[in-house]
Amino acid sequence: MDEFNIPIFKKTYDLYKIFYAYRSGVPKQDRYTIWQKSEELLLEILENLLHASQMAKGEKGELLKAVSTKLNFLRIFIRLMKDVKTLDSKKYIVIQTMIDEIGRMLGGWIRSLKSE
């Protein structure tokens, strides 16, 4: 499928794989609270990016703005997990760097819709 070749989708997919791999090192008390919420957000972002890739150009804007909001929530939850020591600094940097790159890609996609 062509949708899977979209760079932002691939980057988010890769982020989920890394996020999933880190799960086993998360303390049990956090695994079913903030970690689970973050994982759900990440899956929603992935789902909505795929959905947006299949929509007509004029219909994508609102969905992409919603994705941007979810990405910001994810960014905050990841920082919180670092601060409460659910994530170590090294893992935090890996995840945060990928989220920042996805954010830049998403911003570019949203801007490109405005210029059309």
Residue of 5 and 81 predicted with greater confidence: 81
1 — pLDDT class (breaks 50, 70, 90):
very low
Q: Please name each of the domains of the chain with its CATH number.
A: 2-114 (1.20.1440.60)
Buried-exposed string 96-106: b where 16+ CB fall within 10 A, e elsewhere: bebbeebbebb
**pLDDT score for 36:** 96
> How many Cα atoms within 13 Å fall on the side-chain side of residue 93?
3
Handedness of CA 98, 102, 105, 108 (dihedral sign): negative
Q: Please report which confidence band the pLDDT of residue 2 belongs to, taking 50, 70 and 90 as the band edges.
A: low
Question: Whole-angstrom Cα distance, residue 6 to residue 106?
Answer: 11
Residue 81 has pLDDT above 60, yes or no: yes
